[in-house]
Structure 1
Amino acid sequence: MLPRDHRLTASRDFGAVMRRGARAGGSAVVVTVLFRQTEPDTERDAEPAPWRGGLIVSKAVGNAVVRHRTQRRLRHILAELMAEPGLIPEGVGVDVVVRALQQVPETSHEELLGEVRSGIRRAVKKARRHLERTDA
């Protein structure tokens, strides 16, 4: 389970990431990353989490049992990767959405871990380039 502060739950947050975020895909997953402001939330008076994650697992992946197993696998991988130093930039908030494709159930843990890691790295790189272009 992802800690509460590290979960994307609101549909508007998912929508923002999917519309404005940078994508990187593989054969089993598509990772979308969006940088956000890390200003304290006035409602909660707390420092926001440096990253938040969300999952999209559609019925195309399989029946309910397969979808829930896929969600657990991806949640575990996302939590593991976000703890890796250097994967996400320091000092900026990052929202990550991992969308599962039909091939996920047949993908081994090592392959899935590699695809998500690679997707996050490539999407962060694209998001940085986009951010630099808009700042210039």
Structure 2
Amino acid sequence: MQASAARAGFVVSKAVGNAVVRNKVRRRLRHLVRHRLDDLPGGSTLVVRALPPSAEASFDTLADDLDGALAAARRPRRPR
């Protein structure tokens, strides 16, 4: 049985900006995540929450922040 592919969802609230700005941020994030989904384990779900500064962030800044967040998520954590 083959595992399902990884998937991603985006949360871009009204605090980010008007509809045009929110959709621009969502499109940028979708493009960035598309190339990184293959690195995630099959069946995993990635949720990306855009904060208000993402409205003015450059594409490279968004890419760096996304890569940093994915690296932090992959790091093993201590058991509680």
Same fold (TM over 0.5): yes
Moved over 6 A (4+): none
Q: CA deviation at 1:47?
A: 4.2
Q: Name which one, 1 or 2, has greater alpha-carbon Rg.
A: 1
C-alpha distance in 1 between matches for 2:68 and 2:40: 12
Deviations 1:15-73 (A, max 9, x none): xxxxxxxxxxxxxxxxxxxxxxxxx6xxxxx7411x11000000000000001111101
Give the equivalent residue in structure 2 for 1:88.
40
Please list every run of 5 or more consecutive structure 1 residues that lacks an aligned counterpart in the other structure.
Answer: 1-39, 41-45
Q: Report the number of matched residues.
A: 80
CA RMSD of aligned residues (A): 2.1
Greater helix content: 2
TM-score after normalising by structure 1:
0.52
Q: Is the 1:88–1:124 Cα contact (8 Å) retained in structure 2?
A: no
**Which structure exhibits the higher relative contact order, with contacts defined as CA atoms closer than 8 Å and separated by 6 or more residues?**
2
Q: Sequence identity, in percent?
A: 39
**Structure 1 position 129 matched with structure 2 position 77:** yes
C-alpha distance in 2 between matches for 1:88 and 1:65: 30
Greater strand content: 1
